[in-house]
Structure 1
Amino acid sequence: MAQSGTANRLDRRKARTRAALIAAGRTLLTTRDPAEVSIQEITDAADVGFGSFYNHFASKQELFETAVAEVVEEHGAMLDEVTAALGDPAEVFAASVRLTARFPKTQPEMAKIIERVGPGYLTAPTGLAPRALRDLQHAKDVGRFAFGDPQVTIACAGGAVLGVIHLGLLQPEPAAIDHAADELAANLLRMLGLPGDEASEIAARPLPAAG
Structure 2
Amino acid sequence: MTTVPAEGRNARRKERTRAALVRAAQELLATGHAHDASIKAITELADVGFGSFFNHFENKAELFDAALTEVAQRYEEWLDERLSGVTDPLRRLSLSIRYTGRLHLSHPEQAHLLIGQYTALYAGKAPLDGRIRADVAGAMASLSPTIPRGPSTEISAMGSIGAVLAAASTLPEEDRAQLADSLVADVLRLIGADDAVIAELLGESLG
Using structure 2 for the length normalisation, give the TM-score.
Answer: 0.86
Report how many residues are paired. 205
Q: Structure 2 vs 1, CA of residues 87 and 119 (structure 1 numbering), >3 Å: closer, same or farther?
A: closer
Give the Cα–Cα distance (whole angstroms) in 2 for the partners of residues 155 and 114 of structure 1: 18
The residue aligned with 1:153 is 153
CA–CA separation in structure 2 for the residues paired with 1:140 and 1:162: 19
CA contact (8 A) 1:186 1:202 kept: no
Per-residue CA deviations over 1:50-98 (Å, capped at 9, x if unaligned) read 2211111111111001111212222223323321212322111111111
What residue number does 2:173 align with? 174
Shift of residue 118, structure 1, vs aligned partner: 4.4
| Counterpart check, 1:165 vs 2:165 | yes
What is the RMSD computed on CA atoms of the aligned residues?
2.4
Distance 1:74 1:153, change over 3 A: farther
Q: Judge conservation of contact 2:101–2:176 (CA < 8 Å) in 1.
A: yes
- The SS at the match of 1:66 is helix
Q: Distance in 2 between matches of 1:40 and 1:3?
A: 35
Q: Cα distance, 1:117 vs. partner?
A: 1.6
Does the 8 Å CA contact 2:132/2:158 hold for their aligned counterparts? Answer: no
Q: Once structures 1 and 2 are overlaid, which stretch shifts more, 124-133 or 88-97?
A: 124-133
1:86 aligns with 2:52: no
**Pair 59,83 (structure 1): closer, same or farther in 2 beyond 3 Å:** same
With 30-39 and 155-164 compared, the bigger mean Cα shift is at 155-164
After superposing the two structures, state which structure 1 stretch, 101-110 or 60-69, moved more.
Answer: 101-110
Taking only the aligned residue pairs, the percentage that are identical comes to 32
Structure 2 counterpart SS, 1:206: coil
Tell me the CA shift for residue 116 of structure 1: 2.5
CA distance in 1 between counterparts of 2:138 and 2:123 reads 19
The CA deviation at 1:13 is 0.6
CA-to-partner distance for each residue in 1:133-154, whole Å, 9 max, x for gaps?
A: 22233334444785645x6334
Separation (CA, whole Å) in 2 of partners of 1:144 and 1:100: 27
Tell me, yes or no, if the aligned pair for 2:116 and 2:166 is still in contact at 8 Å: no
- Distance change >3 Å, CA 107–CA 156, structure 1 → 2: same
Matching residue of 1:52: 52
Conservation of the 8 A alpha-carbon contact between 1:115 and 1:166: yes
Task: Give the Cα separation in 1 of the matches to 2:124 and 2:25.
Answer: 18
* Aligned counterparts of 1:128 and 1:48: Cα–Cα separation in 2: 30
1:183/1:47 CA distance change after superposition, 3 Å: same
Query: Given the two structures, how large is their TM-score scaled by the length of structure 1?
Result: 0.85
Structure 1 CA distance for aligned equivalents of residues 170 and 82 of structure 2: 27
The within-5 A match list for 1:1-211 is: 5-143=5-143, 148=149, 152-171=152-171, 173-207=172-206
**Structure ranking higher on relative contact order (CA contacts 8 Å, 6+ apart):** 1
Q: Structure 1 pair 111/158, CA: closer, same or farther in 2 (3 Å)?
A: farther
1:102, 1:124 → 2: CA distance?
A: 25
SS at match of 2:80: helix
Mapped partners of 1:16, 1:154: distance in 2: 40
Amino acid at match of 2:188: L
2:69 and 2:121 in contact (8 A); partners too: no
